């Protein structure tokens, strides 16, 4: 619902600016956008931050317990090291984004849906679509993880 409202608001803004000179129009839009993204931890310009977005897939309303589950994280690390490192590093942008601090810009459910369901996310989710653009249309391939494996990798990402 919040998402819908945000789209309506943005839509209204564009329509609202319609009568004005072109330069002003994009200026107003950018200003409004950077305001919403003020607290963005993401270094990538133009990729929205919306912690209420759970993405598209089986995971909804996930919250982590305070303590990291070390056993689960280490199972996740094994998986990560075998398949994700082809495109991701913790602190440096590679083919895909650096994943350290990912939960400061994405909700846990969003991250897990991105891991388990990237093909659909890249087509339907506004953040994933913006990331795809930011990363020069490099496709995050579906690694066919199970929900349990995804949960383990998600736990590992907390430790980065």
Residues that bind ligand HEC (CB under 6 A): 80, 83-84, 86-88, 95-97, 99, 102, 106, 111, 114-115, 122, 131-132, 135, 138-141, 143, 145, 153
Residue 62 CA neighbour count, 13 Å, CB half: 22
Minimum CB separation from ligand HEC for residue 135, in Å? 4
Using alpha carbons, select from 39, 65, 154, 53 the residue that is nearest to residue 107: 53
- Return the exposure string of 26-41: e unless at least 16 CB atoms fall within 10 Å of the residue's CB, then b: eeeeeeeeeeebeeee
Quick one: 32 or 129, whose CB is closer to ligand HEC? Answer: 129
* Cβ neighbours around 158 below 10 Å, total: 17
Minimum CB separation from ligand HEC for residue 26, in Å? 25
Quick one: 17 or 87, whose CB is closer to ligand HEC? Answer: 87
Quick one: 109 or 140, whose CB is closer to ligand HEC? Answer: 140
Quick one: 40 or 87, whose CB is closer to ligand HEC? Answer: 87
User: In the numeric block, which tokens belong to residue 30?
Assistant: 């950018």
Is 83:143 a contact under the CB 8 Å cutoff?
yes
Minimum CB separation from ligand HEC for residue 142, in Å? 9
């Amino acid at each position: 619902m919040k998402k819908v409202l945000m789209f309506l608001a943005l839509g209204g803004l564009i329509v609202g600016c319609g009568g004005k000179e072109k330069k002003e129009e994009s200026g107003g839009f950018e200003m409004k956008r950077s305001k919403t993204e003020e607290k963005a931890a993401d270094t990538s310009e133009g990729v929205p931050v919306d912690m209420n977005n759970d993405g598209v897939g089986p995971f909804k309303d996930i919250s982590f317990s305070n303590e990291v589950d070390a056993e689960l994280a280490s199972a996740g690390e094994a998986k990560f090291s075998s398949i994700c490192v082809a495109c991701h590093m913790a602190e440096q942008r590679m083919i895909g984004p650096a994943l350290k601090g990912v939960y400061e810009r994405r909700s846990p459910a969003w991250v897990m849906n991105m891991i388990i369901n990237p093909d659909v996310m890249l087509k339907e989710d506004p953040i994933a679509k913006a990331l795809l653009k930011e990363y020069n249309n490099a496709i995050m391939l579906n690694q066919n993880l199970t929900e349990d494996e995804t949960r383990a990798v998600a736990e590992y990402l907390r430790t980065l």
